[in-house]
Amino acid sequence: MNTGIGWAIGLLIFFPILWIVVLSFKTEGDAIRPPLEVLSSMWTLESYGLVQERSDYFRHFWNSVIISVGSTALGLLVAVPAAWAMAFVPGRRTKDVLLWMLSTKMLPPVGVLLPIYLICQRSGLLDTRVALVVVMMLVNLPIMVWMLYTYFREIPVDILEAARMDGAGLRQEVLFVLLPMAVPGIASTMLLNIILAWNEAFWTLNLTAADAAPLTAFIASYSSPEGLFYAKLSAASLMAIAPILIMGWFSQKQLVRGLTFGAVK
């Protein structure tokens, strides 16, 4: 019974992706037919060929890779020391700072779009990967700090104190004691934030035009005032989500392990 319910919920959640897969192998004329006629119509790779002719998929793909991986790496450089300080050297305001950081995620992005847009424009960073890497890092930094903080809290303080008694300095304590023990939490944090940065649409659509446009902009280019090109839009969407789906599939055990054992409870 429970297995059947689980399969039903899984299929319900997965159905939109399955329908995108089906439409991506149809022509535009077939894609707008009733569902049964869509399934019985001829399958073709025409939409994928037209998408690649119209847009440079690999340029958008590499922009997404650089922005998501770069913002995550930069965020870890900030989040690891911040989470270490809050977990092992807490102050009176540590919880207040953590709550304040979390509250920034409740701020509507459109509320700060204008100042960030003007900063990027006047600094010459509009439509550049650098701007998006920095913005994505700042957007996801609260989540990274919270995940690492809750994971670091699970590490026994006695181990760090023993390392200090053996003569380890702060740098050795963090690099050779803390980080090896926190690999699952760091890995899950990294994977989750790569996914969040990869799927981010608001900032990428507003801060890019052509040069730094990632795959979210690649998908949006198939929605125009003339209408929606369902087959081409489905093909572009599948090409955009396929890399992150594959990465998520192969890393799901690591992600679940990190989220379960201390990262988020």
- Residue found under tokens 């990262």: 263
* Mean pLDDT across the chain: 84
Kindly indicate the confidence band of residue 6, based on its pLDDT and cuts at 50, 70 and 90: confident
Residue pLDDT, tens place only, 116-151: 999 999 999 999 999 999 999 999 999 999 888 988
Q: How far apart, in whole angstroms, are the C-alpha atoms of residue 91 and residue 82?
A: 12
Annotate 117-173 with three-state secondary structure.
HHHHHHCCCCCCHHHHHHHHHHHHHHHHHHHHHHHHCCCCHHHHHHHHHCCCCHHHH
Please report, as a single letter, which amino acid is at residue 203: W
Kindly indicate the confidence band of residue 107, based on its pLDDT and cuts at 50, 70 and 90: confident
Q: pTM for this structure?
A: 0.85
Q: How far apart, in whole angstroms, are the C-alpha atoms of residue 19 and residue 6?
A: 20
Q: How far apart, in whole angstroms, are the C-alpha atoms of residue 252 and residue 201?
A: 23
